[in-house]
């Protein structure tokens, strides 16, 4: 018998540019990624009305011809059917491997575009232009992408890094307050897992953020990008420390799924998920500093829920948690808080899940 081994090297890098009114600079940097001057822009009906033409104009100034692929708006369209329709448009319009696929929009667009780019012709250059605060600090970099199935959220996906991400904070001036609040929840999560001073800064500047003070918003984006970068640069493929970024998400994804992706927005669910994680941590004797009341105050300021919808039951949460992709032979991995700025990973066995979920829902 003979054994041969192949060692692969994986070298990827994402360049993130952050600023105010930077689409021109984005198009300049994009032109350096490829000699091809054809690209595809994937966006949704809502974002297209605001930002598609300004983006296409800047792309045209650098010689790019852009194919528009406009998909319906909403989490319920983050599925295989949408991805297949995108792949069909790319193929019919002869988008080649030396072209670039651009995602212009929020988290759903970033996920769908990243997934499509990763599997179309076995990988094509990806660039993202996030238009929501949530996408700016989360979905537009880090490489996680995917789609939902009838069994749960993000159960199919890949790791595929964008070559270039453009974070233009001026887009936030047109963002509805509810969408701005959703992004702040993700930023709060970053503070709670890695920087207690940043968490306090957010708590003290909610009014300025909601007033869309761009200097404050740019500071927020910069810090959240830095914190997330500190986790993912050490663990690109989510085998270790990156798991801390799932704080609030194990419960949150189950709540989203139980509500049919209609009853709760992603960040409404994550906000509740963080409160549930605090409750769980206290019950297990892990929590050293209970900040749940302060977090509830901030969520109220953001006009977000602090209690579970009555129609979502313990059994429905359990049904979706059972499908969570973070389950292994040790049990289901939960990110639980110790104190502001510090979390740990705790595995909970299947036999204990019903008890834990019952306790967690009593927020």
Let me know if domain 15-172 sits in CATH 3.30.300.30: no
Query: Residue 343's closest CA among 242, 197, 211, 222?
Result: 242
Fold of 177-360: Dehydroquinate synthase-like, alpha domain (1.20.1090)
Per-residue pLDDT tens over the stretch 38-66:
999 999 999 999 999 999 999 999 999 99
- Name the 3-class secondary structure at 125: strand
Flag whether pLDDT at 325 surpasses 70.
no
In angstroms, the CA 42 to CA 66 distance is 10
CB 78 within 8 A of CB 105: no
What per-residue confidence (pLDDT) applies to 151?
83
Kindly write down the DSSP assignment for every residue of 28-40, as one continuous string: HHHHTT-S--EEE
Per-residue pLDDT tens over the stretch 201-242:
999 999 999 999 999 999 999 999 999 999 999 999 898 999
What per-residue confidence (pLDDT) applies to 334?
96
Q: Give CATH 1.20.1090.10 domain extents, the chain.
A: 177-360
What per-residue confidence (pLDDT) applies to 322?
82
Give the strand pairing for 100-105 and 125-130: parallel
Alpha helices in 284-313 (DSSP H): 292-301
∠ CA 47-50-54, rounded to 5°: 110
Per-residue pLDDT tens over the stretch 163-210:
999 999 999 999 999 999 999 999 999 999 999 999 999 999 999 999
Average pLDDT for the chain: 95
Q: Give CATH 3.40.50.1970 domain extents, the chain.
A: 15-172
In angstroms, the CA 155 to CA 325 distance is 7
Per-residue pLDDT tens over the stretch 90-104:
999 999 999 999 999
Per-residue pLDDT tens over the stretch 271-310:
999 999 999 999 999 999 999 999 999 999 999 999 999 9
What per-residue confidence (pLDDT) applies to 12?
81
What per-residue confidence (pLDDT) applies to 313?
95
Query: Bridge-partner residues for 68, per DSSP?
Result: 41
Flag whether pLDDT at 360 surpasses 70.
yes
């Amino acid at each position: 018998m003979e054994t041969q081994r192949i060692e692969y090297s994986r070298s990827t890098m994402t360049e993130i540019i952050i600023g105010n009114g930077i689409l021109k600079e984005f198009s300049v940097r994009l032109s350096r990624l490829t000699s091809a001057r054809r690209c595809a822009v994937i966006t949704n009906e809502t974002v297209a009305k605001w930002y598609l033409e300004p983006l296409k104009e800047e792309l045209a100034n650098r010689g790019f011809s852009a194919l528009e692929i406009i998909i319906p708006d909403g989490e319920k369209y983050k599925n295989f059917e949408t991805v297949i329709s995108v792949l069909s448009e790319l193929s019919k319009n002869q988008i080649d491997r030396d072209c670039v696929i651009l995602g212009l929009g929020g988290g759903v667009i970033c996920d769908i575009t990243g997934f499509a780019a990763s599997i179309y012709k076995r990988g094509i250059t990806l660039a993202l232009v996030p238009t929501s605060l949530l996408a700016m600090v989360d979905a537009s970099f880090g490489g996680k992408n995917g789609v939902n199935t009838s069994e749960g959220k993000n159960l199919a996906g890949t790791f595929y890094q964008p070559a270039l991400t453009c974070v233009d904070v001026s887009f936030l001036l047109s963002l509805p307050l509810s969408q701005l609040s959703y992004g702040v929840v993700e930023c709060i999560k970053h503070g709670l897992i890695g920087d207690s001073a940043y968490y306090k800064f957010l708590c003290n500047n909610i009014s300025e953020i909601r007033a869309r003070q761009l200097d404050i918003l740019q500071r927020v984006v910069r810090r959240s990008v830095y914190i997330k970068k500190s986790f993912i640069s050490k663990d690109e493929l989510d085998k270790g420390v990156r798991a801390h970024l799932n704080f609030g998400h194990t419960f949150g994804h189950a709540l989203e799924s139980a509500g049919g992706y209609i009853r709760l927005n992603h960040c409404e669910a994550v906000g509740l998920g963080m409160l549930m994680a605090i409750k769980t941590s206290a019950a297990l004797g892990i929590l050293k500093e209970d900040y749940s009341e302060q977090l509830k105050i901030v969520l109220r300021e953001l006009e977000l829920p602090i209690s579970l919808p009555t129609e979502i039951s313990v059994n429905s949460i359990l049904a979706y948690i059972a499908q969570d992709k973070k389950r292994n032979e040790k049990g289901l991995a939960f990110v639980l808080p110790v104190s502001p700025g510090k979390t740990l990973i705790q595995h909970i066995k299947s036999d204990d899940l019903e008890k834990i979920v019952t306790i967690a829902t009593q927020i």
